Amino acid sequence: MEKSLKDLIAETENLNIENKNLKQQLHEVLESVESENIDALVVADKKKLRILREETADEIYRLLIEKMNEGAVTLNEDGLIIYCNFCFASMLNLPLEKVIGNFFHDFIDKFSKTNFNDLLKQAQKNIVKQELFLNTAKGKLTPVQISVNILPVEDVFTLSVIVTDLTLINKKQEEIKTQKKLLEEAEKIAEIGSWTVDLKTNKVTRSNGLYLIYEWIPANKIGNFSPFELIHQSDLEASKIIFDTAVKEKGSFDTYTCINTPPDNREKTLHIKGKVISKEGEATQLIGTTQDITILKQAEQELRNSNKELTQAQEKITKLNQKLESKVITRTRELELAYERLQEYNFELEEVNKSKDRFISIISHDLRNPVSAINSSSDIIMNNFEGLQKDEIRNFSKIINSSSKKIVEQLNELVEWSKQKSKKINFNPKGLNLYDFVEFSLELIQSIADKKNIRISNNIEHHIQVNADPLLLRSIFQNLITNSIKFTPEKGEIKLDATESKSMVEISIKDTGIGMKEETQSTLFSEAEMAKAATKIEKGSGLGLILVKDFVQKHKGKIWVKSKPGKGCTFYFTLPTAE
């Protein structure tokens, strides 16, 4: 993994500080031992403390020299190498025995020898240093920094030379330059600039990316130009407070602001992050980054506008969908109603067709006998009038009369039935006293029962009230009672009773007639099957019972029959109670 620019800089600085401290310690130890200012050295290793006295100090000094990361060389006044450590020999790619005893300038590059000679002369006055090149055994030039210092040892002129290999440092410097260029390119791409502020001198350092953001002139012409001079007046006070607070609290900040860039005073939006660097508890430096997010903000605004337009469009679409859905629901309901009406029309049409067929069947079958009786009786009277006795003429006249009445009765039933099927019967229910109403209905048919000596008993309690249409209820009673009279032999009995429940009244009409079979009961109220049970002299079309069923159902009631052959019949039906 490649090291970052910051890591390389820190590593280089630490290396320089470490070497400097080590040199200083060596010189201090040596001077103290030689001047006899100390009695002993206390050296701490990992396991114990070791006390080194004067006689062992030189050993420690050499040990420290050998462990140095730099070359250490001792020269006499002629420049002859009288000592060097392993590090220096490694720089030359030679063993120690081939280095010690040679002149130092023999290992100096020919182009650097003049500079080295000048360096030796200057070292007689003070400590000097210079960058030169060494010739290695492999013929390679190694860049080094040479520091020269006089060592006063018993009045002998001795030079101490510290050689620092610059290869790694130069390599790291190249890496730093490369990283710096990459960083500048990255800043340019991301529209980010970095900056530092020395809080003691107020000196501002800026990256090239910052110049591009603020559109400043080159650095050599702007001095310590402050970013605050470009910030919007509306943001200026708040920005200063954020900066001052970060310095005071030795913390960091993350803020947004707007600037007006020269020369056209163009507005930009910036995202600024900063952090305070402290040393020994004191804020010394402020570092941070500035990013131009103008285009990003514009894109966000455009996105918000687009989202708003999209939302409005979606709302319009939703409303249109709702309207369309409402129209579809309405239209669907209309179609459903139309379909229901069509089904009703079809059902009514089928019923009309059935009624027509039944009507024709009744006319052709049930009315045939009375019409034939009238025709035959009238033919006999007409053709044999003078030869007939009065009693015979009276009998034929009775036949004609009874047949005519029968035709009228059946025609009336057909008319009522036709009205019911065509929905032309008015329905006007009202509260009625059931007992009184039955008494009124019996007055109209009592004479028919009297002819057969049939007794009719009204056993209904006087307080019972029903909610019914008078005309339809009278037809119900007349049809059911007349039907009972018709199928009850002479001297029979008919009883009327009623019982109340919460909302309905159950009415029964019981006779002592001929009764009927179970299969006849199941089809008694069906138009397809008319009742055929009758006495030898009584017949009927069965339309009366069909009308009774329709009229009861119109009152939301029910009708049924219980009977056994020879045991009579009991008709039951229900009507709603009066409120």
Provide DSSP, 438-460: HHHHHHHHHHHHHHTT-EEEE--
Domain shared by 9 and 92, yes or no: yes
Q: Which of 315, 343, 366 is the last residue of a domain?
A: 366
Output the pLDDT for position 54.
45
Residue 263: asked if its preceding bond is cis (omega within 30°), the reply is yes
CA proximity to 497, closest of 457, 538, 556, 452: 457
Looking at per-residue pLDDT, the higher value among 354 and 508 belongs to 508
Tokens representing 473 are 């209820």
* Nearest C-alpha neighbor of 527 from the set 361, 368, 399, 294: 361
In a domain, 381, yes or no: no
pLDDT of residue 494: 95
Indicate if 287 and 306 belong to the same structural domain.
Answer: no
Q: What is the mean pLDDT of the chain?
A: 79
- Among the three residues 265, 292, 319, which one is the final residue of a domain in this structure? 292
Q: Burial of 329 by CB count in 10 Å (0-12 exposed, 13-18 middle, 19+ buried)?
A: exposed
What confidence score (pLDDT) does residue 19 get? Answer: 64
pLDDT of residue 44: 46
Strand, helix or coil at 555?
coil
Which residues are bridge partners to 268 per DSSP? 259
pLDDT value for 352: 66
**Residue 382 forms part of a structural domain:** no
Containing structural domain, residue 267: 191-292
Instruction: Say which range, 244-258, 306-320, 451-465, has the weakest mean pLDDT.
Output: 244-258
453 pLDDT more than 90: yes
Most confident of 250-259, 316-325, 424-433: 316-325
Whether residues 283 and 313 fall in one domain: no
pLDDT at position 25, please?
A: 65
The end-to-end CA distance of the chain, in Å, is 99
- Residue 79 tokens read as 């420049």
267, 319: one domain? no
Compute the distance between CA of residue 204 and CA of residue 193 in angstroms, rounded to an integer: 13
372, part of any domain = no
Residue 53: pLDDT above 70?
no
- Report the CATH number at residue 528: 3.30.565.10
Q: Mark whether 286 and 306 lie in a shared domain.
A: no
Boundary-marking domain end, from 238, 264, 292: 292
- How much is the pLDDT for 538? 42
Strand residue runs (E) in 252-362: 252-261, 266-279, 282-292
327 and 198 share a domain? no
12/127 same-domain check: yes
Same domain, 529 and 463: yes
Residue 402 lies in a domain: no
What would the pLDDT profile of 465-475 be if each residue is shown by its tens digit?
999 998 888 88
Per-residue DSSP letter, 579:
-
Q: How many domains does the chain have?
A: 4
Q: Are residues 352 and 248 in the same domain?
A: no
DSSP string spanning 38-53? -SEEEEE-SS-EEEEE
Q: What's the CA dihedral at 113, 118, 124, 126 to 10 degrees? A: -110
* Distance, CA of 81 to CA of 88 (rounded, Å): 11
- Domain for residue 416, yes or no? no
> How far is residue 57's CA from residue 40's CA, in Å, rounded to a whole number?
8
Is residue 279 domain-shared with residue 149, that is, in the same domain? no
Q: How far is CA 470 from CA 430, 434, 453, 476, 554, in A?
A: 8, 11, 28, 10, 13
**Helix (H/G/I), strand (E/B), else coil: 558:** coil
Residues 564, 577 contacting (CB under 8 angstroms): no
Long-range contacts of 55-63 (CB under 8 A, 24+ apart): 57/29, 57/33, 58/33, 60/29, 61/26, 61/29, 61/30, 61/33
Q: Is residue 265 part of a domain?
A: yes
Angle between helices 543-554 and 470-486 (to 10 degrees): 150
Write out pLDDT tens, residues 3-19: 555 665 666 667 667 76
Q: What is the DSSP string of 75-135?
A: E-TT-BEEEE-HHHHHHHT--GGGTTTSBGGGGB-TTTHHHHHHHHHHHTTS-EEEEEEEE
- Please determine, for residue 269, whether its predicted confidence score (pLDDT) is greater than 70: yes
CATH number (domain holding residue 269): 3.30.450.20
Same domain for 571 and 448? yes
Euclidean distance between CA atoms 46 and 381, whole angstroms: 161
Which residues 6+ apart lie within 8 Å of 271 measured at CB?
A: 254, 255, 256, 290, 291, 293
Tell me the per-residue pLDDT of 194-214, one tens digit each, with 9 for 90 and over.
888 888 888 888 888 877 887
151 is a domain residue? yes
Band of the pLDDT at 397, cuts 50, 70, 90? Answer: confident
Residue in the structure block whose two tokens are 């024709």: 360
Give me the residue label for tokens 């030869």: 387
105 and 240 fall within a common domain = no
Region of residue 55 (phi > 0: left; psi between -120 and 50: alpha; otherwise: beta): alpha
How far from 172 is each of 6, 381, 425, 426, CA to CA, in Å? 12, 151, 114, 114
| Predicted TM-score of the model (pTM) | 0.37
Q: b vs e for 509-523, b when ≥16 Cβ sit within 10 Å of the residue's Cβ?
A: bbbbbbbbeeebbee
For the stretch 528-564, pLDDT in tens is 554 343 333 344 556 678 878 888 998 999 999 999 9
pLDDT score for 364: 55
Could you tell me if residue 403 is inside a domain? no
pLDDT in tens, 155-174: 667 888 999 988 888 888 88
Q: Worst-scoring range by mean pLDDT, 31-40, 75-84, 103-112?
A: 31-40
User: Please, which pLDDT band fits residue 573 given cuts at 50, 70 and 90?
Assistant: very high
How would DSSP label each residue in 387-440? TS-HHHHHHHHHHHHHHHHHHHHHHHHHHHHHHHHTT-S----EEEEHHHHHHH
Q: Give 23's pLDDT tier (boundaries 50, 70, 90).
A: low
Q: What percent of the chain is modeled with pLDDT above 70?
A: 75
